[in-house]
Amino acid sequence: MANIWITALAKDPASVQAVNQHLKQYGLGVGGHFWIDDLAKFAWFDVIEEMLKHDTRAWVIVAPAAEAAKPSVRYGLAALACAVNARAGFDIPVAWIGDDDPSTLPTPLRGAVKIDGKTASWQAKVVAMAHRSKRPSAAPYRINLHAHTRFGQWFEVGPVDGTWPGAMFGVAGAAIDFHAVGPKGDLPEKTVLEFPQKDMKIALGEAEFTAWAVQNPIGPDQSYFVRVQGSPTSVLFGQLAQDDEAEAFVLKLD
């Protein structure tokens, strides 16, 4: 059975129940939740396990304009998208029921399909998305997040193939206060850092990033972890530049 997960940004039970009933008539498993806008407690992180247990194959986001415009909501959705896709092992297709143009959404959600919930055919589009074969990310990098009120919020990055001869990670609109290297998938209990660097300033367009870096080689099974205080508007990461040819990636998160 192809399963669908509904995220409702506003607590409107009647609207969500209508979406639920429309999709269930196709014989699909439907689950979901009302969004909790609480970045301090990392409320977005609590949704990951439920989406994975539900074996989510399509993610429907019901996004009234007033809620979708909130920076805290947009950041939480972006963080959730990165984390659940990393754990699922494929990019869960997203149906966006709202007024926003997907190209204006945070980078992790820009592949969303805009759905007009008032048309008669919107359910068929979501069902088709749920039955789509699993598609691993085409990006050459991995990005994941870990969060808990006790140990904080950590970004995890690394290459899909090959080896980075060192790694860097920068934030705009937030701060880094710790970093580590270890096996991918979970925070390392101990770490050894090679030639660590802190608080490098990188200007890119109108944004200024504060970056940390290490010269540890990072392969497909290793990751670079950074603890971030606050909610960055954008992150910049990739291999540590040994020359002008080093590739870096930027994700907009607001």
What's the residue count for the chain?
Answer: 254
Check whether residue 35 and residue 76 sit in a common domain.
yes
Instruction: Give pLDDT tens digits for 21-74.
Output: 888 888 889 999 999 999 999 999 999 999 999 999 999 999 999 999 999 999
Check whether residue 151 and residue 243 sit in a common domain.
yes
Helix 71-88 vs helix 46-53: crossing angle, to nearest 10 = 40
DSSP H or E stretch at residue 88: helix 71-88
Closest CA to 167 of 242, 232, 228, 107: 242
Instruction: Give pLDDT tens digits for 132-175.
Output: 989 889 999 999 999 999 999 999 999 999 999 999 999 999 99
Higher pLDDT pick, 242 / 180: 180
Instruction: Give pLDDT tens digits for 215-230.
Output: 999 999 999 999 999 9
1, pLDDT greater than 80: no
| CATH number of 150's domain | 2.60.40
Rounded CA-CA distance 164/211 in Å is: 16
Q: What total number of domains does the chain contain?
A: 2
Is 135 part of any domain?
Answer: no
Q: Identify the domain containing residue 13 by its residue range.
A: 3-130
Of 76, 102, 130, at which residue does a domain stop?
Answer: 130
Q: Is 139 helix (H, G, I), strand (E, B) or coil?
A: coil
Higher pLDDT pick, 241 / 78: 78
Closest CA to 143 of 179, 184, 94: 184
Task: Give the residue-averaged pLDDT of 10-14.
Answer: 90
Q: Is 82 helix (H, G, I), strand (E, B) or coil?
A: helix
| CATH number of 44's domain | 3.40.50.2300
Query: What pLDDT score does 15 carry?
Result: 80
Query: What pLDDT score does 120 carry?
Result: 77
Check whether residue 156 and residue 52 sit in a common domain.
no
Query: Is the sign of the CA dihedral 149, 87, 248, 179 positive or negative?
Result: positive
Rounded CA-CA distance 119/166 in Å is: 50
Of 130, 149, 169, at which residue does a domain stop?
Answer: 130
Is 136 part of any domain?
Answer: no
Is 217 part of any domain?
Answer: yes
Q: What is the pTM of this model?
A: 0.95
Phi-psi region of 185 (alpha: psi -120 to 50; beta: other; left: phi over 0): left
Instruction: Give pLDDT tens digits for 83-134.
Output: 999 999 999 999 999 999 999 999 999 999 999 988 878 999 999 999 998 9
Is 229 part of any domain?
Answer: yes
Check whether residue 33 and residue 104 sit in a common domain.
yes
Check whether residue 148 and residue 205 sit in a common domain.
yes
Q: Confidence band (pLDDT; 50, 70, 90) for 183?
A: very high
Query: What pLDDT score does 42 carry?
Result: 97
Task: Give the residue-averaged pLDDT of 72-79.
Answer: 98
Query: What pLDDT score does 110 carry?
Result: 96
